[in-house]
Amino acid sequence: MTNGDPSTDDDRQTGLVTYSRTLLAPAELARRDRAYAALTEAVRELCDAQLRTEVDLEEVGAVAAEVRAVTARLLTSARERSFGIELGHDGGAREHGNAVLGLRNPFACAVGARAMFWDDRGARATLELGALYEGPPGCVHGGVLALVFDQLFTEAAAAVGQVGMTAELTVAYRRPIPLGTVTVDAWLEVVDGRKRRMHATCHDGDGNLTAEAEALLVLPRWLEGSDAIWPKRPPVDALDGDVSLDPSVT
């Protein structure tokens, strides 16, 4: 099966997962990533503007027609299926379609080298959750936060080499979370065979604890002892700047 992108190769299928591998040279890959990231950011800005605009209805109709024309231009050459996991030259994950951290997903809120951090204890995300993520008026949607927790658990487990899929996820919402900056920390607590018990916290921009979550991740039976590749995460020192991931530090 092909994803319709001539720049990648489907090189292996493991259990449920098909990996593709890029055929592009690193410099060309970086150039493409920059271009697509800029497009994603432009679309994200468009979504936010569309939500908040108060221009007159004639203008709304004209903009809708222009947006449809732009969509048609993008679809003149497009993948046939979702992005999946593309492995970069270093084995790093290029999950550009991921709903939380995908470089090419305008819905993703944890994008950019400064949004997500990994270290030998777990993972941290510092996010800007604006009007697009609203639930209660002026506050972050509880389901959006559950989504972020779910991803962070996967990231924390991968960071400490104890990967697994989410079998259970429980969120305790302690206080409403104002739209704006939120910081989520996730870490591994207990390993029991193929089961990993995880914990996470969410703090708002003023440092208030707003929610906590627990998850059970299970290394799937089909993955145990297989040669499946769990994509690498960049070590924190590969990122620019000094970042602490101590979950007690907010």
Ligand X SMILES: CCCCCCCCCCCCCC(=O)SCCNC(=O)CCNC(=O)[C@H](O)C(C)(C)COP(=O)(O)OP(=O)(O)OC[C@H]1O[C@@H](n2cnc3c(N)ncnc32)[C@H](O)[C@@H]1OP(=O)(O)O
Contact residues toward ligand X (CB under 6 A) are 14, 17, 85, 150-151, 154, 165-168, 193-195, 216, 218, 220-221, 223, 228, 230
Among 149, 137, 230, smallest CA distance to 182 is for 149
By C-beta, is 62 or 167 nearer to ligand X? 167
Query: How many residues are recorded in the chain?
Result: 250
Closer CB to ligand X, 150 or 185, in the complex:
150
Q: Which is nearer to ligand X, 47 or 147 (CB)?
A: 147
178 or 220: CB nearest ligand X: 220
Bridge-based pairing state of the strands 165-173 and 85-87: unpaired
Residue number with CB closer to ligand X (108 or 177):
108
Least CB distance to ligand X at residue 137 (A): 28
**Minimum CB distance to ligand X, residue 37 (Å):** 19
For residue 108, the minimal CB distance to ligand X (Å) is 12
Please identify, using beta-carbon distances, which residue of 139 and 152 lies nearer to ligand X. 152
Residue 69 Cβ vs ligand X, minimum distance, rounded to whole Å: 34
Q: How far is the CB of 150 from ligand X (least distance, A)?
A: 5
CB of 77 to ligand X, least distance (A): 27
Q: Which residues contact 173 (CB under 8 A, 6 or more apart)?
A: 142, 145, 210, 211
